[in-house]
Copies of this chain bind each other. A is one copy, B any other.
Amino acid sequence: MPTLAEMLYAEIRKVRVIDVHSHVRQGEPCASSLRDILSYHYFTELAFSSGLAKEEMAADLPDDRMIPALVEAMARFDNTVQYGWLIDAARKLFDLADHKLTADNWRALNDTAARKLGADGWMDEVLRRANIEKVFLTNSFFEDLDGFDRERLVPCLRIDDLVFHLDQVVDQLSDRGGVSVSDTGSLKKALAAVVDYFVSHDARSAAISLPPGFTCRAVSDADAAPLLATALKGKELSPADGAALSAYVLYLIAENCRARRLPMQLMIGVIRGAYRHGVRQGTDIVSNRDSLEQYADLFNRFHDVTFTVSYLSTTMAHELLAYTWIFRNVVASGHWWYANVPGIIEADMRSRIEALPRTKMLGYYSDAYYVELALPKFDMYRGCLARVLAGQVEMKRLTEADALAVARCLLRDNAKAIFNV
């Protein structure tokens, strides 16, 4: 007999999801091979961390050396949800019958994956099985947004480079902006042109990840001008000056988002490159010292811009709850990266559902590089949601109908309303 959580899961599974953040690329939304999937940093970093040499995962190794080495290493973390994503995807997409990946079954899986991944209409099939309607992309500001189904794969402007590495991308910005960026005036024109291009190409948000310690504050044109000039000369700014220039650019972009009613997605709190010995994409870390206090000025000043906010450190979970509670323009969003763990998700989700309007939460996004991995990640989340909602029903706080209304908001309705899709 199914439990209440299982019954709710079955209903929740019927809600067609909007995936509001991913790294799926419009030109290559699907993996091309099992190895593509196995190379996801969630797998390689745990393999490395638990003892596999980097050389055993090198890009130039043939499949029949790299894959078995990785498969063997993965057994050391077959207790994890990350491993579970792989098995779940393999079972639901590539007909794996087992519950472990082994030296004995990987070749057959590899063959099946190759066959399916090459088939026509595979992306649609994956999204159908995953019950995902739309997937938001992560697009660099200089990308071409023509030539794909933008209703299905929704463009989003990623602004990290503009905010944190303007000097490195100024030529591309000049190109895209149609103006030679040389001062604050031309910078504003170029940024406006970028946002215009994205909005005219159906972009639905601007997104950025931010390091701990980043402080949002207004910087005047006059104060920014010399910093910008120095940066454009290729000279290094002091940390304080760099932070001021970053805040300046962020606020310029926020003004454009306000003018065009574009929500901003903030992913707060990652230290990049903290582990010198890690594998690719496995060198970043979290800090428990980050605080939303540093965003209060942004939220106040742009009180008419919607900010959907994810934290990396669970020490911000309660702040985000309270900010979403009070600030009209703040929405609690997803469970990002190191916080994408059921024990963390469920504790946080329970408090959110108990204390926040159901219209002010985005439940989850996949953060996936290929749609194949969006499937098991969302299914993991759906399980969390079903368990938490079952708890609410069992304590007689919500009816089953109430619970499913919350689920629809978290998975679909709020994303549609907030991002206007």
Contact = CB atoms under 8 A, between A and B. Distances in A.
A395 interface: yes
A351 interface: yes
B397 A354 contact: no
Interface of A: 5, 45-46, 48-51, 76-82, 84, 99, 271, 274-278, 282-289, 291-293, 296, 299-300, 303, 313-319, 321-328, 338-339, 341-344, 347, 350-351, 353-360, 383, 387, 395, 397-399, 402, 405-406
Contact of A291 (B289, B291, B402): B289
A76 B359 CA distance: 6
Contacts of A359: 50-51, 76-77
A286 B355 contact: no
B322 A338 contact: yes
Q: Residue among A284, A327, A360, A383 with the most chain B CB within 10 A?
A: A327
Contacts of A402: 78-79
Q: What 7 pairs between A and B have smallest CB-CB spacing?
A: A50-B357, A343-B350, A77-B357, A343-B351, A314-B318, A322-B338, A341-B355
A293 B399 CA distance: 43
A99 B82 CA distance: 41
A326 B283 contact: yes
Given A79-B406, A81-B355, A316-B288, A360 B322 contact: no
Given A323-B285, A326-B45, A406-B79, A343 B338 contact: no
A293 B283 contact: no
Contacts of A355: 80-82, 338, 341
Contacts of A78: 358, 402
B358 A76 contact: yes
A406 B99 CA distance: 16
Contacts of A299: 275
Nearest to A317: B314
Contact of A342 (B276, B328, B338, B354): B354
Contacts of A286: 318-319, 322
Contacts of A99: 399
B285 A326 contact: yes
24 contacts: A45-B325, A45-B326, A49-B325, A50-B359, A50-B360, A76-B359, A79-B354, A81-B354, A271-B293, A274-B296, A275-B296, A275-B327, A278-B327, A283-B326, A287-B293, A287-B319, A288-B316, A314-B318, A318-B338, A338-B355, A342-B354, A342-B395, A342-B397, A343-B350
Question: Which of A79, A277, A324 neighbours the largest number of chain B CB atoms within 10 Å of its CB?
Answer: A79
Contacts of A287: 291, 293, 319
A357 B318 contact: no
A366 to B, nearest CB: 17
A292 B212 CA distance: 13
A90 to B, nearest CB: 16
A46 B357 contact: yes
A328 B51 contact: yes
A338 B287 CA distance: 22
A50 to B, nearest CB: 4
